[in-house]
Amino acid sequence: MKFSKRLDLFGDEIFAALNERRLELEKQGKKIYNMSVGTPDFHTPDHIKKALMDAAADDQNWRYSLRDLPELLDAVCAYYKKRFQVDITPDMVMSVYGSQEGMGHLGMTLCDEGDVVLLPDPCYPVFAAGSKLGGAVPYYYPLVAEHDFLPYVKDIPEDVAKKARYMVVSLPANPVGSIATPGLYEEIIAFAKKYDILIIHDNAYSDIIFDGVKGGSFLATPGAKEVGVEFFSLSKSFNVTGARISFLIGQPEVIAALKKLRSQIDFGMFLPIQKAAIAALEGPLDSVKEQCIQYQARRDALCDGLASIGWEKPNGKGTMFVWARIPGGRTDSMAFCMELMEKAGVIVTPGASFGPHGEGYVRFALVLPPEKIKEAVEAIRTSGI
């Protein structure tokens, strides 16, 4: 059977290869510390689960939803005002089945064949996948240690900027763990206005920032609403990753365009999940704040532990990930990951899977408690790598 050439745009899924070998090692009795996939291990708050279960008990909620409930849109608007001090209206909001799905379809909404888009490198793979599905040509702007793994628009060539349709910015950044610094968003907004570029901001980790820094929204910066949209996710803050609850927020015309595309392939978010989202947005945030404290304890256990055994202290200012340079001057991240798994039982993600500038690094997911992370570091130390 012949398949679309579109599939040739994408390589093999790295997590599948790592998981296959993990299962083999576990069968052999190998102790495994899986820190590759960013699936939170914390509990979903009870009030969110109750809202979903109560809604699922109503037969009326098993029909097509066909739209976002007005009370859901109002809840998002109220949350943005309370949490980020940003005023938005319901026509600036739509639900998506996770930011990954939304980003994939947004590229198809905004781009035509041959358009140029600006993507961070390293970046979460769907940023590139979404642009390619839209027929666009990615231009990767590097996130490097010399600039604290932050966007540096001054290095983007003017001829590229003039052709760009949109620019993806992700802060706090997966996989590199960087967070926005004062003045950064203002610089990006000025760049976007100068070249008439739409900014797509991924805001999945605003509640997981360390060392006393408070996360915010790109849309809170003056001028941001004129040039941008933002993906906002409940997945990591409220531990509802499997429910796929995210929103695209910002320019109404962009929202309307994505709604038009998705109306051809979708009948709306399952109503009990919409009810769960409302419960999360309107409920207490105590668990979100406590969870951030626990993530920081994990970050400290990992970064301090790796530094103590001779690694360069990793970057880990935000997100549930830590970005670490491979020790010993090695550059083949996939080979290092396989060796680390074989010898230490520690599974991480190769940096190269996030883009060319990821080579020479690995990404750790903070999905184990501190005592287990310390065990993993000790396993690395004694492995002889």
Contact 204, 245 (CB under 8 A): no
Q: Which CATH architecture has domain 46-282?
A: 3-Layer(aba) Sandwich (3.40)
Tens digit of each residue's pLDDT (9 = 90 or more) over 245-271: 999 999 999 999 999 999 999 999 999
Contact 116, 137 (CB under 8 A): yes
Contacts of 72 (CB under 8 A, 6+ apart): 95, 274, 277, 278
Same fold, 5-43+286-382 and 46-282: no
For residue 270, the SS3 value is coil
Residue 30 CA to its chain's centroid (Å): 31
Intervals of the chain under pLDDT 50: none
pLDDT at 187: 98
Exposure string (b/e) for 226-246, b if CB count within 10 Å is 16 or more? ebbbbbbbbbbbbbbbebbbb
Strands 361-365 and 321-325: antiparallel
pLDDT at 373: 98
Q: Which CATH architecture has domain 5-43+286-382?
A: Alpha-Beta Complex (3.90)
pLDDT at 329: 87
Where along the chain do its domains lie? 5-43+286-382, 46-282
